[in-house]
Chain A
Amino acid sequence: MNFLSLFVLVPLLMMLGLWVARNVNQVRGVMVAGASALLVLAVTLAVLYLRERAGGATAEMLFTASHVWYAPLNIHYAVGVDGISVVMLLLSAIIVFTGVFASWKMQMLTKEFFMWFCLLSVGVFGFFISVDLFTMFMFYEVALIPMYLLIGVWGSGRKEYSAMKLTLMLMGGSAFILMGILGIYYGAGATTMSLTELARIHIPVEWQRIFFPLTFIGFGVLGALFPFHTWSPDGHASAPTAVSMLHAGVLMKLGGYGCFRIAIYLMPEAAKEQAWIFLILTGIGVVYGAFSACVQKDLKYINAYSSVSHCSLVLFAILMMTQTSSTGAVLQMLSHGLMTALFFAIIGMIYGRTHTRDIREMSGLMQVMPFLSVCYVIAGLANLGLPGFSGFIAEMTIFVGSFEVNDVFHRTLTIIATTSIVITAVYILRLVGKVLYGTVGNPAHLQLTDATWDERLPLIVLIVAIAGLGLMPWGFSHIISDSVLPVISQLAR
């Protein structure tokens, strides 16, 4: 059996383990064991991948395997990874690992919560290892559905509304994706569903013109493409901590990954023709999300709008279609995934103590919970693109890459996008100043305690990952930019 299938198998085994678990400790044991196994797997994969590449492997996808699943429609269970998927798998493994600790104190229906959580992981990991259009789509759906229950049952606030909205909008997106996939399949002569093989087949441009926007918007909904992003603030605000982390950290990346891997890779001609429309939308999204975040009053809403801004930047960079900007897009996915997970983890922990997320009702938290506050400041600084953290690397790669496109339209948009770094600073510092600094406004907050070990662990893991990427970016940049090349050469076709 192929090594990559383990990524799907381990979460499934975890579900089995949860099924037989009797009490909370056993549940935690299963989750920690499984999540650590996934983390180890992801690191091993990264090492193996680097060794293969260093050994001169030139194939686009490594560790490939393919089993016929449904022959009449040429559906295979086909797996394989390139640099982008390796990085994404690593990200997912880190987030799943930290997510388990972030929901350590889950009280209600613990077992069921983690079961759905594992199913979500199955979808996420399955999506990133698949190289068959249909299998990808299937795993995509597997990742979406548990979200409804996770938010609807374990959420807070207007959870039913948010869960319904999120699921319906994403389902709407996946309807578009399905149309797009069918369009690609039949446009390419209905002979294969494999990504790499499809890339070698020229899909007629008339087909592309119809199906590119469908596919791009379909994935774009998940990637917070303006104006289809409105599920994100409500969804994130209502979701439990670990789900917010996984959703903003990994699931939103499925959108960017799909746009890049499927929409642009398979339909380059239409992508080049229509990029300008989506560039304008994403350009608006970058600035718009940042400005919206400036006046929000709920911690999670601020972070959700910030995610809209950062994820729009991912799509923006993808649409700039240079090797550097696409590398930057993948780096931004990685960086945003880690940062936003850190943010949601801390917000969850603060909310668990203060029972409010309204920034007007909190102040001076630095005094009562220094560890959490320092982590928050670090997360904030990383978010506003401070050198030494991953955000800077990603943004600079994107900006330099986007600036390579030499015409007034692209240049103007790039400059508009760069202004987001100032606006980001505005809302981050506003938040830090209001919530963490100052004196404690609410006397009840003086009794609050700082983070416990199970809360410190995920935060430290995430911060180390962010700083590691920020201080030593060259390795990542290399893996990614080599893997971006096939798509870019496809565009130059």
Chain B
Amino acid sequence: MEHTIFLLALPFLSFLLVGLLGTCLKPKVAGLVGTLSIAAVAVLAYVTAFLYFTAGRGADGAFATLMPYNFTWLPLTETLKIEMGILLDPISVMMLVVISTVSLMVHIYSFGYMDGERGFQRYYAFLSLFTMSMLGLVVATNIFQMYVFWELVGVSSYLLIGFYYKKPEAIAASKKAFIVTRFADLGFLIGILIYGYYAGTFTFTPQAQVLAAAGTMMPLALGLMFVGGAGKSAMFPLHIWLPDAMEGPTPVSALIHAATMVVAGVYLVARMFPLFIGYGPEVLHLTAYVGAFTALFAAVVACVQTDIKRVLAFSTISQIGFMIVALGVCTSADPHAGGLGYMASMFHLFTHAMFKALLFLCAGAIIHAVHSNEMAAMGGLRKYMPVTHATFLIACLAIAGIPPFSGFFSKDEILAACFQFAPWMGVLMTFIAGLTAFYMFRLYYNIFWAKPYDAAQAGGHTPHEAPKSMTIPLVFLAAVTCVAGFIPFGHFVSSDGQAYDIHLSLPVALTSVVVALVAIGLATWMYKGAAQPVADRLATTFKGLHHAAYRRFYIDEVYQFITHKIIFRCISTPIAWFDRHVVDGFMNSLAWVTNAASVRIRGLQSGNIQTYTMVFLGGALLLVVILLLF
């Protein structure tokens, strides 16, 4: 497994090459360098996965955890050190496959999408940087390495969201994304500090007796780490950066803000899963509640958004909520007794990465064709863009949970896990699944059906199918979406490492499919036609609710208030004033007092002999008097 070092080295070298030479390279060459290196990485990842899973199980029935590289990067204390290395276990290998596949697709797709953009080389350099960081994150051998790459994916996300650096919205969005996640990372960092101190190590496998002695500190540390994860994975109320992050180029949204980086929080919880189960089950359940609320909240908001990328963004938030819920409802490490959610979550992560990347790439193709993100500018596109239409429909069916597409299988496992945990959780998640089907098909109909495309309104411009470089990734991902559900996922990944056979629980599956079908039917009824009387009437009847949901329940305004009014106005400005006027004023007044005193004293040294003699005589007399008296 020594070849795994190239998984990180290749993208890094391509980043350095493209980044440093930059404009010296022709755009196509730069793109080719990036794409080829990622293609090599993808092949390596597949080889790694193949070798890893065919190497057979160990004596305990689980796949061995390999660590082909691990060296001390930064020694801290006698016991604590930051190591850098590569850790291979089922979930990291699975993530390698997901990341390299989606990244490769996005690299290819970007050839068409970003064609002729200024800064093409920069774009590919950042993509390489991101891929390297993300791969480094998943193969981290310890929590601190994860944090290191965690920050790096954050910054590559910042750079890519702000790719169109002349657009004020893009600047604001990139700033917001970085600062919100950075704020969450503060929690992560403190969590790591606590963990490091009490566990005596940064690795994922501390000694049990040390942990037992830590008492309540371990749940605290895990909870704080989850805050970091919630920031990256856009959990309520830290989700606000993700919809805005759609200001970046669409392929970037597909790669970073749909498939890979945003699931880092899920991956983090999965990575710490044994500790969560062992030392903080209540924290784990807390994450489930957060996830469930986020899923519901985002699904509701997604129902009324009109920008197609924002709908997808909220749908991503909602689906990540599903994954978090699945992890959170686990009550033990045994998949047969309450540990099903772990597998379900990872499975959903896998399938979701594929179909959500597909959805975003389709959205990119559509935006490329009509030059707008707004639903109002679309409609009737199915005639103009058949490939995009077909692949988009497949992805929608997958996310809605219709068999035999991949989303059905993974979502079904999640719902089963929820029902095992608590019936109300199962019902709630089924409802949200229905909501998902509804808003996805609302989106679908509004783009491809509804009113016929009005070329006159778009300035006589007729949309056309995207070029080959863009449709090939779409078709590939659609194919994966069709077959991924039949992968015996439980054989590779499960909470205790043992092989687990996925079996559909009929009542759950049936209910969810029926709910999804009903929701799709409802969406068809409401949005298929050119006029949408039902939807409009609903919007006017529940005007307040509709408006609130459209404005995303004013969470952004709350943040705006906190940052601008409180942090800038009420903290920074007074502090700066205090510094200039009080602290510095004190120093200045010290100087002023010295100066004023000197001026006074100078009066004594008048140069007037008569005054001097007067003082002299007075002094002499005084001395005489004193001498006479004493």
Contact = CB atoms under 8 A, between A and B. Distances in A.
Interface stretch (A90-98, A99-107, A258-266, A417-425): A417-425
B179 A425 contact: yes
Contacts of B75: 474, 477-478, 481
- Which of B178, B567, B573, B579 neighbours the largest number of chain A CB atoms within 10 Å of its CB? B579
Contacts of B464: none
A490 to B, nearest CB: 19
B165 interface: yes
A396 B166 contact: no
Contact of B179 (A366, A396, A403, A426): A426
B579 A437 contact: no
Given A165-B587, A230-B583, A294-B567, A438 B186 contact: no
B572 interface: yes
A234 B584 CA distance: 10
A403 B77 CA distance: 11
Interface string A447-464: 000000000000000000
B72 A227 contact: no
Contacts of B579: 230, 288, 292
A47 interface: no
Given A230-B587, A397-B74, A366 B165 contact: yes
B151 A403 contact: no
A486 B583 CA distance: 36
Nearest to A381: B155
B178 A439 contact: no
A296 interface: yes
Contacts of B584: 230, 234
B502 to A, nearest CB: 38
Nearest to B129: A388
A291 interface: yes
Contacts of B155: 381, 386
Given A230-B584, A292-B579, A400-B193, A387 B151 contact: yes
B531 interface: no
A404 interface: yes
B579 to A, nearest CB: 5
B571 interface: yes
Chain B's interface size range is 35 or more
A295 B583 contact: no
A396 B152 contact: no
A292 B574 CA distance: 9
Given A292-B572, A324-B76, A400-B80, A418 B186 contact: yes
Contacts of A201: none
Nearest to A295: B572
B571 A429 contact: no
A473 interface: yes
A386 B144 CA distance: 13
B34 interface: no
A414 B186 CA distance: 12
A473 B568 contact: no
Interface in A223-264: 226-227, 229-231, 234
A168 B74 contact: no
Contacts of A436: 165
Given A429-B179, A430-B175, A169 B587 contact: yes
Most buried by B among A438, A478, A481: A438
B385 interface: no
Given A230-B579, A386-B152, A421-B186, A396 B74 contact: yes
Given A397-B74, A401-B76, A421-B189, A438 B575 contact: no
Nearest to B82: A396
Given A227-B583, A381-B155, A386-B151, A401 B573 contact: no
B154 to A, nearest CB: 9
B151 A288 contact: no
Please give me the 5 A-B residue pairs with the lowest Cβ-Cβ distance, nearest first.
A230-B584, A294-B572, A387-B148, A437-B165, A295-B572
22 contacts: A226-B583, A292-B572, A292-B576, A294-B572, A366-B165, A386-B151, A387-B147, A387-B152, A392-B151, A396-B144, A397-B76, A400-B196, A403-B197, A418-B189, A419-B186, A421-B186, A421-B189, A422-B186, A425-B182, A433-B175, A473-B74, A481-B75
Given A406-B197, A437-B165, 17 more contacts: A165-B587, A230-B584, A294-B568, A294-B576, A386-B155, A396-B144, A400-B76, A401-B76, A418-B193, A419-B186, A421-B186, A425-B182, A433-B172, A433-B174, A438-B168, A474-B73, A474-B75
